[in-house]
Amino acid sequence: MSDRDLVVLGVGMHPWGKWGRDFTEYGMVAARAALKDAGIEWKDVQYVAGADTIRNGYPGFIAGATFAQKMGWTGARVSSSYAACASGAMSLQTARASILAGFCDVAMVIGADTTPKGFFAPVGGGDRKNDPDWLRFHLLGATNPVYFALFARRRMDLYGATSEDFAQVKVKNSLHGLNNPNARFRKESAIEDVLNSPVVSDPLRLLDICATSDGAAAMIVTSRAFAEKHLGSLKGVPRIKAVSTSTPTYPQTILELPDFATDSSAVVMPPARGFKDSICWDAYEEAGVGPEDLSMAEVYDLSTALELDWYEHLGLCAPGEAESLLRSGATTIGGRIPVNPSGGLSCFGEAIPAQAIAQVCELVWQLRGQAGDRQIENAKLGITANQGLFGHGSSVIVGI
Amino acid sequence: MSETATSNASQVPAVEGWFTLDQNPHLIGSQCPSCETYVFPPRESACPNPACDSDELKPTPFSRFGTVWSYAENRYAPPLPYRAAEPFEPYALVAVQLEKEGIIVLGQAPKGILATDLKVGMRMQLETDVLYREDDVDYMIYVWAPAVQDEVVGGAK
């Protein structure tokens, strides 16, 4: 075990769904579940790293304090992080830094959200002509699915991907999540179901695109010393081996949500690794492992086609080969490298601040052999991959 | 592409300083006088090149022609602050790669140009179209239209 490993003592979630209740209610359920799983008391938590939600007023912006107060003030230190979809990873990194620096031994990482119906729209009212997120809606009507569609279309025009290929991702993930008690959508999808769903942002259909959900996830991470004292032995106990929160390197030459344009490559050569590759490879390098060492991956399938992109960014296959890898069955549970054994966003929908934490929860259950009928045999090492808008990378490696 | 505008409506850009509204419209970007890198949308300060400490950027006309990097088509009306026409008509969005500037710029396609009319690598040119009308004023936006053949032969303006 590396000196920089963090022990995951407990994980917990509130199931994903759409109820419109106060986000802190969901968070409390996840927090209590993680504490119980860890076998510790709330008063043992010295640090609360909250992942923020920006659609739930002031309490959402100060998530660390919000949950610390809701659980009952204990004097614990808090932090609140916002990095869009990567907020959970940023919170984990904050907790990790505090533990590795020796400032505390036991931290809770927590995120919860309540989402509105329909397309995500800019947060807050009024004209904001200097806010690119407001402007992309106002001037272009460039919703999030538009950006997902741009990536999907490139796979089609450059690599010959088909709508059937994209639908196959949904079929796979729907099977994975079928009996996941925390998943919101637990229904088998056939290729035809996807192809018969309405086109939202061509070439993507409704069932290619993830929904927005309510949900919460929490975990208890600790120093090695605390865990050894608490558990006796750390054999088979999942450990965080890397957290990558990379930002892009100039020039960023791929058009990413929510930008109007890329950086310019006219006078500065693009980096050898593009942004999304670097998110994953920074994590590999930190953990001292490579894609060949993985038992599984949880990736951010905002759309079916984006899951295929992640296969390539993670180095599971060469660019242009993701469709073949999918069709070979390698990324299905039972295959060489199962992807999204939880069912992914396809079965969950996105609860932004909770999602990157939920990805880690799934790896932990798999590594402990507690994933029920979606269990990956002999799982030893997993990676999560995700990206938050405005240049936030998120990749976590967990192993036993 | 101003055929959708009627003659009695005046035209103003929906956003100031991003494009021209003349016969041969082009985007207005910024360029760093020190390292010469380009920026879009345009701004006056802070060169984005980490190796350059210039805090001055100057407006510069961008190439009018480029190639399709990717495209999408909205089948549902986007939420506010987009001012969708009623009834809503599907429209395409196109990301176009500008060779000289080394930049990809996202824009709408003109009304009537849909995903089936587009392909990665296709040559496009900048035009303008009406984004929305309010109080007899047409608020205009730049759009990417398939390039007209003779202009392709003639090269970028």
> Closest to A250 (Cβ–Cβ): which among B49, B80, B115?
B49
Task: Return phi, psi of residue A123, to 5°.
Answer: -85, 130
What are the two backbone dihedrals, phi and then psi, of residue A345, each rounded to the nearest 5 degrees?
-60, -25
Closest Cα in chain B, distance from residue A122 (Å): 8
Number of C-beta neighbours around residue B54 at 10 A: 15
* pLDDT at res. B9: 81
Q: Please name every residue paired with B128 in a beta bridge, in sequence order, or none if there are none.
A: B142
In tens, the pLDDT along A210-244 reads 999 999 999 999 999 999 999 999 999 999 999 99
Element at A214 (helix H, strand E): strand A214-222
Q: Please check whether residue A297 is in contact with residue A316, taking contact to mean a CB–CB distance below 8 angstroms.
A: yes
Q: Is the pLDDT of residue B153 over 70?
A: no
State pLDDT tens for residues A324-361. Answer: 999 999 999 999 999 999 999 999 999 999 999 999 99
Look up residue A142 and give its amino acid: A
Is A146 in contact with B80 (Cβ distance < 8 A)? no
Q: Which amino acid is it at A23?
A: F
Tell me whether residue B121 is in a domain: yes
CB pairs under 8 A between A and B: 147
B155: in domain: no
On whether the CB atoms of residues B124 and B147 are closer than 8 A, the answer is: yes
Chain A residues lying within 8 Å of B79, measured CB to CB:
118-119, 121, 137, 143
Q: According to the model, what pLDDT value does residue A119 have?
A: 76
- Chain A: nearest CA to B81, how far in angstroms? 5
Backbone angles phi, psi at A310, to 5 degrees: -65, -35
User: Is the ipTM above a cut-off of 0.90?
Assistant: yes
In a domain, B99, yes or no: yes
- Shortest distance between the Cα of A209 and any Cα of chain B, in A, equals 14
Omega cis (within 30) before B81: yes
Split into its structural domains, chain B has a count of: 1
The parts of chain A modelled with pLDDT lower than 50 are none
Q: What is the mean pLDDT of chain B?
A: 91
Domain annotation covers residue B119: yes
Interchain proximity B81–A132, CB inside 8 Å: no
CB contact under 8 A, A268 and B104: no
CA distances from A9 to A191, A224, A316 (A): 39, 10, 29
B55 located within any domain: no
Do the chains contact at A263 and B76, CB–CB below 8 Å? no
pLDDT at B18 over 50: yes
Helices (H), A72-187: 87-100, 132-135, 144-159, 163-176
Instruction: With respect to residue B120, please indicate whether it lies within any of the assigned structural domains.
Output: yes
Q: Do A203 and B49 touch (CB under 8 A)?
A: no
CB nearest A267 (choices: B35, B72, B92): B35
Domain that holds residue B139: 64-146
- Residue B8: pLDDT band (50, 70, 90) is low
A112-130 burial code (b ≥16 CB/10 A, e <16): bbbbeeebbbbeeeeeeee
Q: In angstroms, how far is the first alpha carbon of chain B from the final one?
A: 17
Asked whether the predicted pLDDT for residue B150 surpasses 60, the reply is no
Min Cα–Cα distance to chain B from A199, Å: 7
Q: Residue B85 falls within a domain, yes or no?
A: yes
**Is residue B131 situated within a structural domain?**
yes
pTM for the whole structure: 0.95
* A203 prior amide bond cis, ω within 30: yes
Question: A141, B103: Cβ pair inside 8 Å?
Answer: no
